[in-house]
Amino acid sequence: MSGELVLVTGGSGFIAQHCMLKLFEAGYRVRATVRSLAREAGVRATLKAAGAEAGERLAFFAADLTADAGWNEAAAGCDFVLHVASPFPLTVPKHEDELIVPAREGALRVLRAARGAGVKRVVQTSSFAAVGYGHPPMDRAFNEHDWTQVDGEGLTAYAKSKTLAERAAWDFMAREGGDMELAVVNPVGVFGPILGADFSTSIEIVKRMMDGALPALPRLAFGVVDVRDVADLHLLAMTDPEAAGERFLAVAGDFLSMRDIALILRRRLGDAASRVPTRELPDWLLRVLARVDKSVGQIVPELGKTKNATSDKARRVLGWSPRSAEDAVVATAESLVRLGLAKHRG
């Protein structure tokens, strides 16, 4: 409804900023949390460049997932909350709790503040990482009934953090959620147009391909979805009565291998993708590299695995209709080139 107030956590982030653009387009007022108010000017400038002159429709509050301060003030008077903030670093943390604790405790802080403020519904951004890892080989697509097995082989700290944070959120709602509602969005790898230099880890894959930083490609496959469609799904999950108490996978079609993505870039971008490799890296070499590089070690358990996931539920229940995975990949690369963030030739 036009004029209602929505709190978006992690306001400087890739998904959060696209959510804010959709909210402004739909007539909502927005509050955004950032860890430091020094980031406000940068976020406003990014949104303005993307076509949203927010003005007084946007306010900022300082709040950190690791501390209580600021959350009650940020949530006060809000009708809805989009809890998008969660740590997702490029490097491996020294200890998994560096990701798990802020993700889980941060989700609970947001939910407590929202409940205390009388918020109608919270939409939490979870991940396919909370759905499709730690399992034996599957001959079907993953769906919303599946949960990542946190004691499964080779599970990363990030996958554990997203799983435990979402579990904690549902447990909180069952115990003490009261009249407040929760819906959860579980995106696969989020691609699509970046708005600035602050973008998701998924985007880094395309950037490194474009830069020529990858001499060859690991035999990995993952789901792809456009960030604009992820934002659309957040708004549908926020407003549709059928979304209350549900989780929704966000994936655009079948999973793609890294070589699939490379071939898309080569075909659709021409000279701008001249550095993109198409040769696959032998698994044995990656296993050798993993002995000295922990970040490489994270991907070894996924080498050569075939996975898939379905967004049938979001399409059927909410009428969600995402762009193709190919178009999401191309939009990523085109935005990197446009903003001068890809060291392409051409």
CB 161 within 8 A of CB 87: yes
pLDDT band at 346 (very low <50, low <70, confident <90, very high): very low
Query: H or E segment at 274?
Result: none
Q: Which of 45, 38, 48, 126 is nearest to 82 (CA)?
A: 126
| Helix intervals (H) in 26-156 | 40-49, 71-75, 97-116
For residue 296, name the pLDDT band (cuts at 50, 70, 90).
Answer: low
The answer to the question of residue 157 being in a domain is yes
Which conformational region is residue 120 in: left (phi greater than 0), alpha (psi within -120 to 50 degrees), or beta? alpha
Q: What is the CATH number of the domain that holds 18?
A: 3.40.50.720
Instruction: State how far the Cα of 346 lies from the Cα of 340, in Å rounded to an integer.
Output: 12
Residue labelled with tokens 């229940």? 317
Q: Give the model confidence (pLDDT) of 181-207 as tens digits.
A: 999 999 999 999 999 877 777 899 999
**φ, ψ dihedrals at 258, nearest 5°:** -65, -35
pLDDT at residue 293 is higher than 50: yes
Using CA atoms, how far residue 341 sits from 56, 149, 224, 280, in Å, is 31, 37, 21, 25
Q: Whole-structure pTM over 0.85, yes or no?
A: yes
Task: State how many domains the chain has.
Answer: 1
- Does an H or E element contain 191, and which? strand 189-191
pLDDT tops 60 at residue 44: yes
The answer to whether residue 173 sits within a structural domain is yes
User: Across the strands, what pairs with 309?
Assistant: 142
In a domain, residue 101? The reply is yes
Q: What percent of the chain has pLDDT over 70?
A: 92
Write down the pLDDT at residue 295.
60
Q: Residues 139, 99: contact at Cβ < 8 Å? A: no
The DSSP-derived string for 217-253 is B-S-EE-EEEHHHHHHHHHHHHH-GGGTT-EEEE--S
**Within a domain: 250:** yes
Q: Which residues have C-beta within 8 Å of that of residue 228, sequence separation ≥ 6? A: 18, 22, 192, 193, 323
What residues are labeled active site?
162
User: What's the distance, CA 129 to chain centroid?
Assistant: 10
> Is residue 119 situated within a structural domain?
yes
| 117 lies in some domain | yes
- Does some domain include residue 208? no
Q: What range does the domain containing 246 cover?
A: 5-199+224-254+308-323
Interval 279-296 mean pLDDT: 69
Q: Is the residue at 291 inside a domain?
A: no
